[in-house]
């Protein structure tokens, strides 16, 4: 009898658990390159949009037999230490073609790769007529997050194109940047930072698209880190554009939902009106039941000038997978004015590595808040780095399986759990009562 009761209770609880863990909001085919023991893929935005957990704990990889296979998930980095600033040398290149600096341009290349000024070169400030500057970052113990170009001008506004190279021959184009320095009533608004997005290169070339500034000094922001901490640094940053922000209850508040479990580390706030300067605070939270958490404060601007429109660079925050965000504008300067605020959110996608155990086709399931993460450390599943590893991609969405019917709301799941537990408890109490009655009856007969 006891065994029967225990079996009944376990069966009821198991059926409840299976109803929650078999469901996936989305299933995707995995397209594989070649035949390998391991496959690595970068998670697209469709996976983040379907996930119901901020840590992607509801991601699973299955083989053709429907069996889950081991996988690792790299991308959620721990909070990085503050970058260090280091002064660097730069060299004026008074020519539109700075791809091959040489002694004719006043620059020589030493055997260790460092750049040195020839007698005719000027390494401080920017000479009249200079169209480009070449910067030697030196040997970095880490990655280059950004350049800080300190302007000597009292007032400056201009655009600059940015290229990076490891050998002065092959150049990689980076997004254009804008530098700004304006003053009013004793206050100064500056934008002297050029993002390099964690590059590991030796040289950076700045080509001035407008008039060249007077440069007082240049620093590079160096972010120390090892391979594990930057596992997804090579994955290009993805952006979700056109996220609409709606006015909140308080004046100057704007609310928006990212629409997925994206690990947002960049925010681009598109101001509705030109010639706007506003001080803002940024908050986030996972849901409406959680208090707001302040992430950062910043000055936003959108200014018209002789060289075109100048806007602030994207705001940087620690990777944050909260869906709900709030922009609180300091209204003492008039706020943002009329018009709609739109937002673009950027993130570094996670890199998933799985073991190709079993037969194809392999699939990926995601979207079940009842699941918890089973991702392993990469070093625990990739036994030998020299083993066969190939690329994979998240392909087309697959039709839902029978068990993938829409999951009940959380309140319904909790109610179901209570009903199952109460039923099991009533059965157990009834069984114990029956056993006690039998014992009492046997004793009376004896």
pLDDT digits (tens, 9 = 90+) for 64-82: 999 999 999 987 544 456 6
Task: For residue 386, tell me if it sits in a domain.
Answer: yes
Domain shared by 293 and 248, yes or no = yes
Sheet holding 132-136, edge to edge: 89-93, 132-136, 203-208, 156-165, 171-184, 187-191
What distance in Å separates the CA atoms of residue 293 and residue 396, rounded to the nearest whole number? Answer: 37
> Which 3 state secondary structure label does DSSP give 114?
coil
The verdict on 267 and 162 lying in the same domain is no
Q: Do 207 and 126 fall into the same domain? A: yes
The Cα 423–Cα 416 span in angstroms is 11
Q: Are 157 and 202 contained in the same domain?
A: yes
Give the domain-ending residue among 174, 199, 223: 223
- Where does a domain end: 177, 199, 223? 223
What SS3 state is found at 376? Answer: strand
Q: Which pLDDT belongs to residue 237? A: 86
Is residue 130 located within the same domain as residue 195?
A: yes
Residue-wise DSSP of 223-260? E---TTTTTTTTSPPEEEEEEEPEE-SSTTEEEEE-SS
Residue 231 lies in a domain: no
Q: What is the predicted pLDDT for the residue at 2?
A: 44
Q: 96 and 200 in one domain?
A: yes
Residue 229 lies in a domain: no
> Is residue 230 one of the residues assigned to a domain?
no
Closest alpha carbon to 424 in 2, 8, 130: 8
Q: Could you tell me if residue 232 is inside a domain?
A: no
Q: What is the pLDDT of residue 229?
A: 42
Sheet with 342-347, side-by-side order of all strands: 238-244, 342-347, 264-270, 315-320
End-of-domain residue from the set 347, 377, 392? 347
> What is the reported pLDDT for 431?
67
378 three-class SS? helix
Q: Looking at the domain assignment, is residue 228 inside a domain?
A: no
Tell me, yes or no, whether 341 and 422 share the same domain.
Answer: no
The pLDDT assigned to 95 comes to 57
H helix or E strand, kind and range, residue 442? helix 410-445
Residue 287, Cβ density class (10 Å: 0-12 exposed, 13-18 middle, ≥19 buried): exposed
Torsions phi, psi for 183 (to 5 deg) = -130, 150
The domain in which residue 9 lies consists of 1-23+407-446
Q: Collect the ranges in the chain with pLDDT lower than 50.
A: 1-20, 77-79, 97-104, 121-124, 127-128, 226-232, 407, 409-414
Residues 371 and 339 placed together within one structural domain of the fold: no
Query: Does one domain contain both 215 and 272?
Result: no
Which residue(s) pair with 223 in the sheet?
Answer: 143
What's the CATH number where 247 sits? 2.60.120.260
pTM for the full model? 0.66
Residues 243 and 284 in one domain: yes
Strand partners, 173: 163
Task: Answer yes or no: is 104 within a domain.
Answer: yes
- Judge if 251 and 341 occupy the same domain: yes
Pairing mode, strands 203-208 and 132-136: antiparallel
Question: Residue 41: inside a domain, yes or no?
Answer: yes
Let me know whether 213 and 95 are in one domain. Answer: yes
Count of domains forming the chain: 4
Determine the Cα–Cα distance for residues 220 and 249; give it in Å rounded to an integer.
Answer: 42
Question: What secondary structure does DSSP assign to 26-90, as a single string?
Answer: EEEEEEE-SS-SEEEEE--HHHHHH--STT-TT-EEE-TTS-B--EEEE--PPPPPPPEEEE-EE
């Amino acid at each position: 009898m006891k065994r029967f009761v225990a079996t009944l209770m376990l069966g009821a609880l198991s059926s409840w658990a299976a109803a929650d863990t078999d469901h996936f909001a989305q299933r995707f085919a995995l397209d594989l390159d070649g035949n390998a023991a391991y496959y690595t893929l970068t998670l697209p935005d469709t996976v983040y949009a379907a996930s119901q957990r901020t840590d992607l704990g509801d991601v699973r990889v299955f083989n053709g037999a429907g069996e889950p296979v081991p996988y690792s998930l790299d991308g959620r980095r721990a909070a990085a230490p503050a970058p260090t600033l280091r002064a660097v040398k730069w060299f004026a290149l008074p020519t539109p073609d700075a791809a091959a600096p040489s002694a004719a341009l006043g620059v020589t290349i030493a055997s260790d790769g460092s750049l040195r000024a020839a007698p005719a070169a000027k390494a401080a400030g920017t000479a009249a007529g200079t169209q480009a500057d070449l910067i030697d970052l030196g040997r970095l113990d880490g990655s280059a997050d950004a350049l800080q170009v300190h302007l000597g001008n009292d007032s400056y506004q201009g655009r600059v194109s940015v290229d990076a190279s490891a050998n002065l021959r092959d150049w990689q184009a980076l997004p254009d940047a804008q530098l700004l320095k304006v003053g009013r009533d004793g206050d100064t608004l500056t934008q002297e930072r050029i993002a390099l997005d964690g590059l590991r290169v030796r040289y950076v070339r700045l080509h001035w698209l407008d008039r060249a500034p007077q440069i007082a000094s240049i620093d590079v922001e160096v972010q120390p880190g090892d391979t594990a901490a930057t596992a997804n640094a090579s994955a290009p940053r993805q952006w979700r554009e056109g996220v609409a922000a709606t006015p909140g209850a308080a004046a100057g508040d704007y609310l928006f939902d990212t629409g997925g479990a994206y690990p947002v580390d960049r925010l681009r706030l598109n101001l509705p009106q030109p010639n706007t300067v506003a001080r803002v605070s940024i908050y986030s939270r996972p849901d409406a039941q959680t208090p707001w958490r302040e992430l950062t404060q910043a000055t936003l601007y959108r200014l018209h000038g002789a060289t075109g429109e100048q806007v602030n660079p994207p705001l940087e925050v620690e990777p944050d997978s909260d869906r709900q965000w709030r922009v609180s504008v300091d209204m003492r300067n008039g706020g943002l004015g009329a018009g709609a605020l739109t937002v673009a959110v950027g993130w570094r996608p996670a890199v998933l590595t799985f073991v190709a155990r079993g037969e194809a086709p392999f699939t990926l399931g995601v979207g079940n808040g009842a699941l918890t993460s089973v991702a392993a450390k990469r070093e625990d599943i990739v036994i030998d780095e020299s083993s066969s590893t190939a690329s994979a991609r998240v392909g087309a969405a697959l039709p839902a399986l029978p068990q993938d019917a829409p999951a009940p709301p959380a309140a319904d799941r909790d109610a179901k759990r209570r009903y199952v537990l109460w039923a099991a408890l009533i059965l157990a109490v009834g069984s114990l009562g029956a056993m006690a009655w039998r014992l009492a009856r046997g004793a009376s007969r004896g």
